[in-house]
Structures are given as C-alpha cells and as structure tokens.
Amino acid sequence: MIQRFRPADRYAHWTMAIVWVTLAITGLILTFGKILLLPILGHGLYSWLAAAAKNVHNFIGPILIVGVVWMFVRYLPYNWLNKQDFVWLTKIVGNLTGHEHPSGKFNGGEKMVFWFLLVLLSPLLIISGLVLNFPNFGQTRATMQTISIIHMVLAYVAIAIALVHIYLGTIGMKGAYRAMRDGYVTAEWAKHHHELWYNDVKAGKVPESPMVSEAAVPEPIRRAVLLAHK
C-alpha cells in the first residue's frame, strides 16, 4: 500500500471541505430559499431557517480564512503545474472514461481545482464576504449591493467547480474517497490513476508518500482500503 495523504494533509482538506460545504448550503438557502423553500415550509419555519442560515454563514465565513491558508501551505508543493499536466488536460475525455493519461500525485484537473477554487476564487469570496459581514467601515449601500452581486456570482462559479470535484472524489472515482478518509491506496490504484507518482514512490523519490507493507497499516484501514479499491 501507499500513503497518499499524511494526517495533516487530510485534516487540512476536511477542515476546508466542511467549512466550504456549510457556507455553500447556507448561502444557497439565503439566495433561493424564499423562492424554493418558503412555499413548502411556510413563513414560520422558513423565517427560522433563514435566520439560522444567515448566522451560521456569517460566523463560519471567517474560518474559511484559516482553512484556505492551511490548505494552501500543505498542498502547494504538490500542485505546481508541469508539461504532463497540460497533456493530461488535453486528454480530459479519455481521463473521465477510464483511459487515464499518466499523472503525478495530483493530475492536471486536480491542480486546476487547487489554483482556481482555492487560490483564486476562495480569497475573492473571503474579501467580498468580509465587506458584507462588516458593514461598519464606511461602505455605502451601493457598494454593498455591488459586492453582494459579485459575491453571489463568484459563489455560483465556485460551487459548480466544487461539485465536479466532490463527485470525482466520491462516487465518480472508485477508491478516491477512501484515500482521503484513511490516507492509503493500493499500489494497483496508484499505478492506474497516478502512474507517474506511483513510479516515483516505487523509486523512493517522494519520501512524503511511502510505500508500506499491508501489515504496517492498521487492520480496519487496510480492510476498508482493499474493499474500496476492489
């Protein structure tokens, strides 16, 4: 087996994922709730839900700053783009239909998610969110309205990218979720999905991703990983 994600990498990813999904859900409730939920829930229940969503969104939002910085620091070394990543992107159809082009620890698609979702869109959402969250720094009503629209559009784009990422990281790619949950993958999985990384691990070039014997992995994790990758 190969250790794909160290514990600190998984903790950073799960922190980001939980905070991000919470903000996405509460934001969608605030945006579309009056149209979609109010007719179903009624005014009483919907008013409670909308108030709860607003408070959760406002108080959880600043935590995203910590999540973005933490994940950026942990994942930047793995996400520098190279020639193979651009080749991978040109073969995107084959990659999504089971004929994957060799890639490193993260493929071109995953690196695009890192740079666009984490490095570009998330900071823009944080900045615009802080402007909306703290209206006592001289912002005019017109400024708040403009920033609100910008924040909403950025959020829709980010949610669309995140949904693709979540799909491929769960049911869209067998074994991907277990890799993030438990940290390990089988050698066969690594070779099939990330052949260049597998070759480097096998050659001992990436000490942060060691190849270990099955006996060295705790039994519950070993069993879960083997079942997920069958």
| CB-neighbour burial class of residue 12 (10 A; exposed 0-12, middle 13-18, buried 19+) | buried
Number of structural domains the chain divides into: 1
**Which runs of E-coded beta strand occur in the chain?**
2-3, 184-185
Domain hosting 124: range is 2-228
Nearest to 24 by CA among 163, 213, 164, 195: 163
Q: How many residues does the chain have?
A: 230
Which residue has tokens 């600190």? Answer: 8
Per-residue pLDDT of the chain (230 residues; tens, 9 = 90+): 899 999 999 999 999 999 999 999 999 999 999 999 999 999 999 999 999 999 999 999 999 999 999 999 999 999 999 999 999 999 888 777 777 899 999 999 999 999 999 999 999 999 999 999 888 888 888 999 999 999 999 999 999 999 999 999 998 888 889 889 999 999 999 999 999 999 999 999 988 888 888 878 888 888 888 887 76
Instruction: Count CB atoms within 10 A of the CB of residue 34.
Output: 12
pLDDT number for residue 226: 83
User: Residue type for 134, please?
Assistant: F
- Residue 105 token pair: 């620890």
204: left (phi over 0), alpha (psi -120 to 50) or beta: left
Which residue has tokens 């698609």? Answer: 109
Q: What is the CATH classification number for the domain harbouring 22?
A: 1.20.950.20
pLDDT number for residue 135: 83
Q: pTM for the complete prediction?
A: 0.90
pLDDT number for residue 50: 95
Contact 50, 30 (CB under 8 A): yes
